[in-house]
Amino acid sequence: MDDFEPSVVAFLCNWCSYAGADLAGTSRLKYPANVRPIRVMCSGRVDPVFVMEALKEGIDGVLVAGCHPGDCHYQSGNYKTNRKIKLIKRLLSDLNVDPGRVRFEYISASEGQKFADTVTDFVAQLKEMGPNPLKEGCK
Amino acid sequence: MEGLILVKDGDIASGCNELFKTFLTSGKLEAILVSQETPNGKMAFPALISDPEKLRSNILSPILPVSEASEISRMTINKGSDKPVGVVIRPCQVRALTEIVKLNQANLENIVVISMDCPGTMDVNTFSNLPEGKVPTDIIMDHLLKGTDIDQYLRSSCRTCKDPVPMNADITIGLFGVDLGSGFLVQAHTESGERLLEGVKLEAYKGEREKAIAKVRGGKDAKREAFISSKKEIKGIEAIADFYDKCVNCHNCMNACPICYCKECIFHSSVFDSDANKYVHRAKNKGIMKMPDGALLFHITRMNHMILSCVECGLCEQACPSNIPLMDLLIPVAENAQRELDYYPGKDPDEKLPMVVFREDEYRSVGEK
Ligand code: SF4
Ligand code: SF4
Ligand code: FES
């Protein structure tokens, strides 16, 4: 499986993680190019349906990143997302899909390095896991 | 406050009906929402009744055609009642009501909740197509009096019910641990419950209720455990896709569910509308695409949205035209999810929903497994 390149969708909060990803880019930090970022106004906007749809369509990993605790522009969007992701992971295990395919991180606007490291690590982890089993089924 | 209400000839249903009548005639209640039999006795539906003469309730009638909690939501979502209204609902529906109050979908202002020990209910079709000579209420009475096994008639959610005895009701009508040949038990748990029972003639109760409840619970718990472990093979994406094979995307399950309340469901919105090019693009992704393709996503998303509050009433399963045994999957998944987030739907009205609370120390990063 050496040539397997996992696909990753990243839902990034406009106020922090998206800027963090931008910083990683402008600072020319090295990280795998497998990520397709989607900007959301708050990590709290990420409904489980987004994550499930991505996985169902065969995306190998979903990253959700939001502001650090206490920093969410809408007070508690990040906390709620945190719990939502916990639940998604629980349901994924019931579906026999590795819950490691979904990741939630706090990444601030100044943490370009953390963004690059998170993506690097996530992609490596997904490579080990292999392709998303949902990709094969036609249903 | 608690005590027995004596009835003639062991006719519990009429005894309860009389009690409800006095609530209306005394003016203590403006109206009462209670399951009412249709004149031919072949069906029963909740009805909101203000005229005591129109009361023809039968709390033993083992059927739950629609969510009573949803009906209370329909009545009170904008405003509670100015005057007291009683609602006679099953224990799972009290739990559902507790959840939808937390979801801001119902308002209990001046709503007096009356519930009863629940022996279980039958699927609508089982109920209305019983063999000649079988009367639903007799089947239930037989079970209560002699312990006859009635599992063959019950919906799977009722066979495996977690809480056949109500919690958070203002008044409980007790059937377990009561000599039903002579009467039934009433218990008031709150001030508004006590106000209703004021002046009602009560005899001292000396039965062993706790013991009887423990026995009923024990039996159901064992069946629930066996049920969950017998459904272990519905795991893995293939098995789950097979499980929903017969789904025709009607969304009846969602409409029947007391917890699913969104007025504009994302699955009825234009979010998934697309154009031919995008469809072809998606088909190319895997080389094949089922049409419509949404069933699995719908079910998994629905689980994500309501599983923590799922009270296992089984109304989704009853509503499914394809007879998909939805509880086979929902019960084990609900059990796991609710344990994971340490939440018991319907138990504590003051406990916040798990999705709106957060402890500073939890899941600092959920990246790791
Ligand atoms: S999902 Fe089914 S069992 Fe659970 S609350 Fe809704 S209707 Fe009842
Ligand atoms: S009621 Fe049955 S057929 Fe209709 S959407 Fe639900 S599972 Fe599918
Ligand atoms: S605004 Fe960034 S997570 Fe809410």
Percent of all residues in chain A with a pLDDT value above 70, rounded to a whole number: 96
ipTM: 0.84
Sign for the pseudo-dihedral over CA of B268, B270, B276, B278: negative
Which site among A57, A89, A94, A107 would you substitute to test the B interface, given the most B Cβ atoms closer than 10 Å to its Cβ? A94
- pLDDT at residue B155, as a whole number: 97
pLDDT of residue B362: 63
Nearest ligand to the CA of B302 is: 1
Question: Distance (Å, rounded) from C-alpha B307 to C-alpha B311?
Answer: 9
pLDDT at residue B273 is higher than 70? yes
| pLDDT given at position B290 | 84
pLDDT at B233: 78
Asked if pLDDT for residue B369 goes beyond 50, the answer is no
- B297 touching chain A per CB within 8 A: yes
In tens, the pLDDT along A18-66 reads 999 999 999 999 999 999 999 999 999 999 999 998 998 889 999 999 9
Closest CA to B307 of B357, B239, B257: B257
Which residue type, as a one-letter code, is found at position B66? V
Which residues approach ligand 1 with their CB closer than 6 A?
B 256-259, 306, 310-316, 330
Q: pLDDT > 90: what percent of chain A?
A: 76
Q: Is B354 on the interface with A (CB under 8 A)?
A: yes
pLDDT in tens, B44-54: 999 999 999 99
Instruction: Give me the pLDDT at residue B40, please.
Output: 81
pLDDT tens digits for B225-254? 999 999 887 777 788 888 999 999 999 999
> Does position B283 have pLDDT exceeding 90, yes or no?
no
Give the list of residues 6+ apart from residue A51 with CB closer than 8 angstroms, or none. A62, A64, A85, A88, A102
Ligand 3 centre distance from Cα of residue B262 (Å)? 24
Is residue A138 very low, low, confident or very high in pLDDT (cuts 50, 70, 90)? Answer: very low
User: What's the mean pLDDT when you consider all of chain B?
Assistant: 93
Q: According to the model, what pLDDT value does residue A134 have?
A: 78
Beta-sheet pairing, B2-6 with B183-188: antiparallel
Contacts of B365 in chain A (CB under 8 A): 104-106
Distance CA B266, CA B57 (A): 38
Q: How confident is the model at residue B218 (pLDDT cuts 50, 70, 90)?
A: very high
A8 three-state secondary structure:
strand
Residue A116 pLDDT exceeds 70: yes
Q: Considering only A22-26, B104-108, B157-161, B271-275, which range has the smallest mean pLDDT?
A: B271-275
In the predicted model, is pLDDT for residue A137 greater than 70? no
pLDDT, residue B364, reads 57
Q: Options 3.30.1460, 1.10.287, 3.40.50, 2.130.10; which CATH number does A8-125 get?
A: 3.40.50
pLDDT of residue B239: 84
Residue B339 Cα to ligand 3 midpoint, Å, equals 28
Measure the CA–CA gap between B163 and B220, rounded to whole angstroms. Answer: 9
Measure Cα distances from B364 to B6, B154, B360 in Å: 59, 45, 8
* Amino acid in the structure at residue B68: E
**Nearest chain A CA: its distance from B277 CA (Å):** 16
How many CB atoms are located within 10 Å of the residue B187 CB? 18
What value does the mean pLDDT take over residues B102-122? 97
Residue A55 and residue A8: Cα distance in Å, rounded?
A: 10
- Specify the residue with its C-alpha closest to ligand 2, atom 2: B320
* Ligand 2 closest atom vs CA B252: 1
Element (DSSP H or E) covering residue A61 = strand A61-66
Per-residue pLDDT tens digits for B145-183: 999 999 999 999 999 999 999 999 999 999 999 999 999
Residue of B290, B297, B367 with shortest CB distance to A105: B367
* Domain boundary assignment for chain A: 8-125
The distance of B315 to chain A (nearest Cα, Å) reads: 21
For residues A92-97, give the mean pLDDT.
Answer: 85
Which residue has better confidence, B273 or B331?
B331
Chain A partners within 8 Å of B236 (Cβ): 95-96
Specify which residues B46 forms β-bridges with: B35
- B92 backbone dihedrals φ, ψ, rounded to 5°: -65, -30
User: In the prediction, which pLDDT does B366 show?
Assistant: 47
Tens digit of each residue's pLDDT (9 = 90 or more) over B307-333: 999 999 999 999 999 999 999 999 999
What is the rounded distance in angstroms from the CA atom of residue B51 to the CA atom of residue B32?
9
Write the pLDDT tens digit of every residue in B176-202: 999 999 999 999 999 999 999 999 999
pLDDT mean over B91-96: 98
CA torsion A41-A43-A44-A46 (nearest 10°) is 90
Question: pLDDT at residue B269 above 50?
Answer: yes
B366 at A interface, C-beta within 8 A: yes
CA of B260 to the centre of ligand 1 (A): 8
Confidence (pLDDT) at B65: 96
Let me know: does B124 contact B208? Beta carbons within 8 Å. no
Residue B369 to residue B366: CA distance in whole angstroms: 7
Residue B360, pLDDT above cutoff 70: no
Q: Which residue has the tokens 């025709």?
A: B248
H or E segment at B367? Answer: none
Are A64 and A51 in contact, with CB atoms under 8 Å apart?
A: yes
Which residues of chain B does A89 touch, with a Cβ-Cβ cutoff of 8 Å?
A: 366
> How high is the pLDDT of residue B292?
84
| Confidence at residue B368, expressed as pLDDT on a 0 to 100 scale | 41
